[in-house]
Structure 1
Amino acid sequence: MPDLHLGLIGDNISRSASPRLHRAAGRQHGLDVRYDRLIPADLGQSFEEVFAACGAQPFRGLNITHPYKERAARSVRIDDPQVRRIGATNTILFEAGGPTGHNTDYTGFMAAYRRVRGAAAPGVVAMAGVGGVGRAVGFALLTLGAAEIRLFDIDPARAAALAEALADAAPGTRVSSVESIEAAAKGATALINCTPLGMVGHPGTAIPRACLRGVDWVFDAVYTPLETQFLRDAAAGGVQIVSGYELFFYQGVHAWEIFTGLPLDENRLREDLAAVVA
């Protein structure tokens, strides 16, 4: 029996580095960590069936990734009002009173942003994608002090719903949903990709290179691969990059703290991961 049993539910997770992160975290404390990749389609089950099966086993916790974060939020108790507003959870802790939902995408994005940009404000942000990670990043942008947030999604109703939720949470911040990423990017100082485009199994980019003109910084939620077309385009234009790897790293560190209550040597963890994630 392992000392700690964790797992990840999602699609296209064969290259996820989450198992390595949590096993490396366990080694810092002499813990044997079992970390399972759980792909509902491969198991012939729905998300809800996989989640229920995990709850019936000795899992301590789960990470949740695309496209199940919003469904996960409907399956657990959420105590944090901000996570309830986000409406998505990527971290679940199994407790005696039932499973609880947390969102370390929210805290992880803020940590990733501050590591790269320090105390600088986000400015005028155009974002593509308003799914689970997009919702977390949207609320994080409010906390970081964004002057304006413009949202685009292939489902306009979802973009409008998130725009309304963000505007309600921060009446002093201008928030809108727009008909195209090109319209969102006009005059923006930052571009964010929270769509799956660019990740393994979803080639391409949601944000054309032409949108990068005049932009100060970008963020791509995708980290497999580390270099997406969007980030290559940004690097070629000399734009500051907040990478999806930084979000991956910090959401994992924060999830570990929820699962165990144990601190981590972050520099050591980065070194342990560096060779295998590249």
Structure 2
Amino acid sequence: MKLGLIGQHIQKSKSPQLHELLGKKLAIETRYDLFDCQLRDEQALRDLLIELKQKGYRGVNVTHPYKVWAWNIVHDKFHTSAGLGALNTVLIDGEELSGTNTDCSGFVRAYRKLCADSAPGKVLMKGAGGVGRAIAFGLGELNVEHLYIYDEYQPNLQALVADLQRANVACSAVSSEQLDQVAKECDGLVNATPVGHYTTPGAAFSAQQVGGQRWVFDAVYTPVVTEFIAFAKQQSLTIISGFELFIHQGIDAYEWFSGQSVESVDLVSEISASE
């Protein structure tokens, strides 16, 4: 089974190791390739998917910055909320493109694993792009009390707030001037931006903003311990790392690609031990 990942700055991705290990677990010969590319528009993404289909690929994962484009061009969407607006897993070997969003399901799994039955409470999230959309709808599934969202790009921010409100998720946009105050009033902090990634270093939340919450999540997993996560460790907060999301979304994606179930508990401990 030939699979791949489409995105930018993905050369350090561990997706090939994860999916090829999953293939060994299920006795499915699996090849997973990286397609690090700068695509000009949705049509370019569609053309790439058609090209990969012709080369015998079963499916691909899609990451930053192409998840919204994937939503727009995929015909059949499964296990996704109507307003989610982003896909990260696409089957390309059928008559029509089909897809789902395992970032959303993977985040829900990771949250429940580390926070048990505790509700998210009030949450401040930075980032309203593809991964932000998935996490926001996942928080809705987890019955978030109120989700405050910040993004410098206003069209993304306003569109996500509107879509969440249509889905009856309590949420609102916040400005940069409100961040310090809102952060201190929240139970959870979420980074759904690339800040902290090895190509875009920095702290998604400042040391002054981190503290007093119960939990944090950082979608970045290269490196696993970002500056934001390091601040949270100093405050002894419950940490859901981007690596946790990576593992769980990958398991869900491989099940989608292969049509077979994976024993995820043993796999998570095995991959974590190898990191």
TM-score bracket relative to the smaller structure: over 0.9
Q: 1:8 matched to which residue of 2?
A: 5
CA contact (8 A) 2:124 2:183 kept: yes
The answer as to 2:20 corresponding to 1:23 is yes
* Distance in 2 separating the partners of 1:96 and 1:48: 14
Once the two structures are TM-superposed, the CA of residue 226 in structure 1 deviates from its matched residue by 0.6
Q: 1:197 matched to which residue of 2?
A: 195
* Distance in 2 separating the partners of 1:193 and 1:271: 24
Q: Unpaired runs of 5+ in structure 1?
A: none
Instruction: Please give the per-residue CA displacement for 1:223-249, whole angstroms capped at 9, x wherever unaligned.
Output: 111100000000001111111111101
Name the TM-score, length of structure 2 as normaliser. Answer: 0.92
Q: 2:233 matched to which residue of 1?
A: 235
* Distance in 1 separating the partners of 2:221 and 2:160: 24
Q: 1:187 matched to which residue of 2?
A: 185
* Distance in 2 separating the partners of 1:48 and 1:40: 13
From 164, 172, 179, the equivalent of 1:176 is 172
Report the identity percentage: 37
Name the TM-score, length of structure 1 as normaliser. Answer: 0.92
Q: How does 1:139-158 map to 2 (within 5 A)?
A: 139-158=137-156
The answer as to 2:145 corresponding to 1:123 is no
Q: How does 1:237-276 map to 2 (within 5 A)?
A: 237-274=235-272, 276=274
SS of the residue corresponding to residue 210 of structure 1 reads: coil
Once the two structures are TM-superposed, the CA of residue 81 in structure 1 deviates from its matched residue by 6.9
Q: 2:212 matched to which residue of 1?
A: 214
Q: 1:38 matched to which residue of 2?
A: 35
CA contact (8 A) 2:110 2:245 kept: yes
Instruction: Read off the aligned partner of 1:239 and give its amino acid letter.
Output: L
What is the root-mean-square deviation in Å for CA atoms of aligned residues?
Answer: 1.8
* Distance in 2 separating the partners of 1:169 and 1:84: 8
The answer as to 2:63 corresponding to 1:65 is yes
Once the two structures are TM-superposed, the CA of residue 266 in structure 1 deviates from its matched residue by 2.1
SS of the residue corresponding to residue 171 of structure 2 reads: strand
* Distance in 1 separating the partners of 2:165 and 2:265: 37
Instruction: Read off the aligned partner of 1:269 and give its amino acid letter.
Output: L
Instruction: Read off the aligned partner of 2:125 and give its amino acid letter.
Output: M
Instruction: Read off the aligned partner of 2:30 and give its amino acid letter.
Output: V
CA contact (8 A) 2:164 2:170 kept: no
* Distance in 2 separating the partners of 1:159 and 1:145: 20
CA contact (8 A) 2:77 2:98 kept: yes
CA contact (8 A) 2:158 2:173 kept: yes
Once the two structures are TM-superposed, the CA of residue 160 in structure 1 deviates from its matched residue by 1.7
* Distance in 2 separating the partners of 1:166 and 1:129: 14
* Distance in 2 separating the partners of 1:107 and 1:54: 26
SS of the residue corresponding to residue 222 of structure 1 reads: coil
Q: 1:53 matched to which residue of 2?
A: 51
Q: Which moved more, 1:111-120 or 1:90-99?
A: 90-99
SS of the residue corresponding to residue 185 of structure 2 reads: coil
The answer as to 2:99 corresponding to 1:101 is yes
* Distance in 1 separating the partners of 2:45 and 2:95: 21
* Distance in 1 separating the partners of 2:113 and 2:50: 37
Once the two structures are TM-superposed, the CA of residue 97 in structure 1 deviates from its matched residue by 2.3
Once the two structures are TM-superposed, the CA of residue 262 in structure 1 deviates from its matched residue by 1.2
CA contact (8 A) 2:57 2:93 kept: no
Q: Unpaired runs of 5+ in structure 2?
A: none
Q: 2:87 matched to which residue of 1?
A: 89
Count of residues in correspondence between the two structures: 270
* Distance in 1 separating the partners of 2:127 and 2:76: 23
